[in-house]
Amino acid sequence: MSFEYDDRGLSSDAFAGALRDAINAKDVTLSWLQKQLKHRGNRVSIATLSYWRSGARRPEGVQSLAALADIEELLGLDEGDLSRQLPSTKRTGPLGPTQFPIDQQDIEKAVKDAYAALGAAYPDTSREVTTHSVTDVDAQGNVSFCSTRSVLQATSGTMTATPFLELTPGLPTPAPIFRAVSGGRIAGTYSHGAGEVHGVLFELDAPLTAPDTTMVEWSVAYPPDYPATRETGHAVARQCRELLVWVRFHPDALPDWCEERVSTPSGVTVTPVSPGGGGSVHLVHRAFGPGAVELLWGYGPREPVGDQPG
């Protein structure tokens, strides 16, 4: 499937010229660029790169824009140097499938109940183009605070609000404390009876009409009676251009082990990871979803798989 939008009526000269200049300045070939993109998981053909360089076509859609972000980095450019040169478009690009990111029917039913109670259509008509989720871990090694910043796009019609939910499958909890940081306000709250799904209706500052985007930011804090939690992550029901999960550990609670758990329709992958020099772990996935990216950690020997971290 092609992810380029070929519209001869719009000029791509500025973008093509900037791309040509960057390639020449780096003194690399399209073949080199294509191979580097492939190593990063972006399969863009040399023919497509040639079209972009000539101005015959331009990047369009989530996967091509993800590749463009890598191209900027590979060519030594600042973020946005090329993407800012793209002509505006009134297309959302390919949306891909929508799928509940967790393979648990009871949780999906609870999520549907939450959407209905908050007056929102299910599945949601928005998608997260880029999302950065940052979690702070306290001196006891437990999750203490999480903030999420996202570029949100309307995929059809006009939207005025969207739900944000916290899911804890198999672990009933009291309601966490949601706060709208920027881009909107909290217009409603909900807690499912089983205590495994809590959420809010985030009302946008202004209506959003497809395919426009907006920036939103919200945070979640956890009350004193919240269960000790040593895992965090983010799930998306549609493909996301970039998903970043960043976990920052208190210097007195650096974990003995960490592992990344990635769940997609094709299965679950678990990978050991280690905190960096600054005592944090960041997980970056491009063109990701539907699915979930999680980080789990602990102290002492690794608990047997299936035990509840914490």
Of 54, 85, 116, the domain-final residue: 85
Q: Does residue 222 share a domain with residue 286?
A: yes
For residue 202, pLDDT over 90 is answered with: yes
Q: What pLDDT is attached to residue 9? A: 35
Looking at the domain assignment, is residue 93 inside a domain?
Answer: no
Residue 211: cis peptide before it, omega within 30 degrees of 0: yes
Do 131 and 265 belong together in one domain?
yes
Judgement on whether residues 160 and 286 belong to the same structural domain of the protein: yes
94 in a structural domain: no
- Whether 13 and 148 map to the same domain: the answer is no
- Scored b (16 or more CB within 10 A) or e, 124-138 reads bbbbbbbbbbbbbbe
- Domain termination residue (choose one: 85, 116, 132): 85
Phi, psi of 263 (to 5 degrees): -110, 125
Q: Are residues 259 and 112 in the same domain?
A: yes
Q: How confident is the model at residue 93 (pLDDT cuts 50, 70, 90)?
A: low
For residue 222, give every residue at least 6 positions away whose Cβ sits within 8 Å of its Cβ, in sequence order, or none.
143, 144, 145, 176, 177, 229
Q: Read off the CATH number of the domain in which 221 is found.
A: 2.60.40
Is the backbone of residue 223 left (phi > 0), alpha (psi -120 to 50) or beta?
A: beta
pLDDT at 109 over 70: yes
Dihedral of the CA atoms 130, 62, 295, 275 (nearest 10)?
A: -80
Q: Which amino acid is at 290?
A: P
Distance of alpha carbon 247 from alpha carbon 126, whole angstroms:
26
Work out whether strand 291-298 and strand 257-264 pair parallel, antiparallel, or are unpaired. antiparallel
Residue 25's domain spans which residues?
A: 4-85
Count other Cβ atoms within 10 Å, centred on residue 194: 15
The pLDDT, as a whole number, for residue 189 is 97
Same structural domain for residues 66 and 211?
A: no
Render pLDDT for 55-86 as a digit per residue (tens, 0 to 9).
Answer: 888 887 656 777 888 899 999 998 888 888 87
**Residue 36, in any domain of the structure:** yes
**3-state secondary structure (DSSP) of residue 110:** helix
Task: Say if 75 falls within a structural domain.
Answer: yes
Do 120 and 231 fall into the same domain? yes
The CATH number of the domain holding residue 58 is 1.10.260
The pLDDT assigned to 55 comes to 86
At 214 the pLDDT is 92
Number of domains in the chain: 2
In a shared domain, residues 128 and 207: yes
Pick from 147-156, 209-218, 296-305: least confident:
296-305
